[in-house]
Amino acid sequence: KIKIATQGPLSGGQAALGTGMKNAAELAVEQLNAQLGALGITFELVPFDDQARPEVGSANAKNIVSDQDILCVVGHLNSGVALAALPDYKNASLAMVSPANTNPKITEGGYEVAFRVVGRDDVQGAVAEKFAREELKVKSVYIIHDTTAYGQGVAEFFRRNAEANGLKVLGFEGTEERSDFSAILTPILAANPDLIFFGGIYDQAGPFFRQARDRGITAQFMGPDGLESSELVDLAGNAVDGMHYTTVAAPVSQFPKAAKYAQDYQAAYGDAAPAFSAQAYDATNICAAGILSAAIAAGGKPTRAQVVQAIRGLPPFPGITGTYDFNEKGDPTVATYFVLKVNAADWNKNELISRLEIAPPK
């Protein structure tokens, strides 16, 4: 038996995205097994709940690497959790194909087993800052982040680009607050920025944006792909209507090749496929392609190290969200970045403002 593990938040405030990733992997495995059954090859999915917490992801990673039948990991949602788990994956030569991790350290940290099908925050932060300055025509920004590897990272890249390009940064604050943001909103109200950029995830951003509007703050809002969930609107209501966000994922409707996947997902789970799930479907299929390629070369069950090499050497892989070809670091040779405008009445009708294909930094 060949196992593929998933790691993501299956409980807690970010479970909507984590569960979407797990379900997508499950769907991919079922479809693979239907195709490969005649060859006597069966994949099994082993899901782990990392609760969006680095220490839990690290503990799970130890369990994952101890199961010798697990030959690839699809995960994580949160970069900070992936970075906590990667030392264990590296020691075990176990491939991780991420559908969602955007922190540059995932592929720059020398782990050698990490791949991702999405872009990076050093590019995403630059895309967001350029859009804010050139299209939204803002002159000043107040930056808030959630202190995680992901949220703080993308906020810092936004700040760096803002400072280099003459966009005035009126504040840069990290917070772990979840419910009452008055202590942060008071200085923002006084500073009166044109834009608030929030580096973090929808479960924290939603209440923050709602309270900002309730306090009479009129600034435009912007954030990265951690906001990519209809739950942002459930939490923030009309406060986020018309706000812009950048994303490496985008709603499934933005990918013509994902139409059948979207139908299959809806039929299997009675729910629309959330963001990052189509990427998880692709990541699972890349894991499987690497395992099968390594198995053919090995003439039997491959080693984990052989799977890593096979994934690195795959020909361009035709996924439902793009065609993936990895560079020597594990980044896709070209990644897609979107700028979207929120439609609070119907998240699936968020307006595509721009779509950029950008190579990773050299």
For 150-170, how does the pLDDT look when each residue is reduced to its tens digit (9 = 90+)?
A: 999 999 999 999 999 999 999
Are residues 182 and 226 both part of a single domain? Answer: yes
* pLDDT (average), residues 233-254: 96
At residue 6, the pLDDT reads 98
Given a contact cutoff of 8 angstroms between Cβ atoms, the answer to whether 225 and 243 are in contact is no
Q: Is the pLDDT of residue 322 over 90?
A: yes
Number of Cβ atoms within 10 Å of the Cβ of 22: 24
Are residues 145 and 215 both part of a single domain? Answer: yes
3-state SS, residue 83: helix
Residue 278: band (very low, low, confident or very high) from pLDDT cuts 50, 70, 90? very high
Are residues 242 and 353 both part of a single domain? Answer: yes
Dump pLDDT digits (tens) for 51-71: 999 999 999 999 999 999 999
Are residues 115 and 156 both part of a single domain? Answer: no
* pLDDT (average), residues 99-118: 98
Given a contact cutoff of 8 angstroms between Cβ atoms, the answer to whether 116 and 97 are in contact is yes
Q: Tokens at residue 262, please?
A: 């979207």
Are residues 140 and 220 both part of a single domain? Answer: yes
Are residues 219 and 346 both part of a single domain? Answer: yes
CATH number at 127 reads 3.40.50.2300
Dump pLDDT digits (tens) for 325-357: 999 999 999 999 999 999 999 998 999 999 999
At residue 157, the pLDDT reads 98
Query: Is the Cα dihedral 240, 244, 247, 252 positive or negative?
Result: positive
How many domains would you assign to the chain?
Answer: 2
Are residues 34 and 142 both part of a single domain? Answer: no
Give the residue ranges of DSSP H helices in 54-112.
54-66, 79-91, 105-108
| Domain containing residue 214 | 121-247+338-358
Q: Which residue type occupies 222?
A: M
* pLDDT (average), residues 177-201: 98
At residue 349, the pLDDT reads 92
Are residues 135 and 239 both part of a single domain? Answer: yes
Average pLDDT, the chain: 97
Residue 38: band (very low, low, confident or very high) from pLDDT cuts 50, 70, 90? confident
At residue 348, the pLDDT reads 87
Q: Is the pLDDT of residue 25 over 90?
A: yes
Long-range CB pairs of 236-240 (<8 Å, 24+ gap) are: 236/205, 236/206, 236/207, 236/209, 236/210, 237/210, 237/344, 238/344, 239/209, 239/210, 239/212, 239/213, 239/214, 240/206, 240/209, 240/342, 240/344
Are residues 105 and 126 both part of a single domain? Answer: no
Q: What percent of the chain has pLDDT over 70?
A: 100
Given a contact cutoff of 8 angstroms between Cβ atoms, the answer to whether 181 and 212 are in contact is yes
Q: Is the pLDDT of residue 10 over 90?
A: yes
Are residues 344 and 302 both part of a single domain? Answer: no
Are residues 74 and 182 both part of a single domain? Answer: no
Q: How far apart are CA 212 and CA 28, in angstroms?
A: 41
DSSP string, 192-203: --SEEEEES-HH
Are residues 235 and 346 both part of a single domain? Answer: yes
At residue 1, the pLDDT reads 87
Give the residue ranges of DSSP H helices in 176-301.
182-191, 202-214, 231-236, 259-269, 277-298
Number of Cβ atoms within 10 Å of the Cβ of 180: 10
Dump pLDDT digits (tens) for 192-241: 999 999 999 999 999 999 999 999 999 999 999 999 999 999 999 999 99
Q: Is the pLDDT of residue 181 over 90?
A: yes
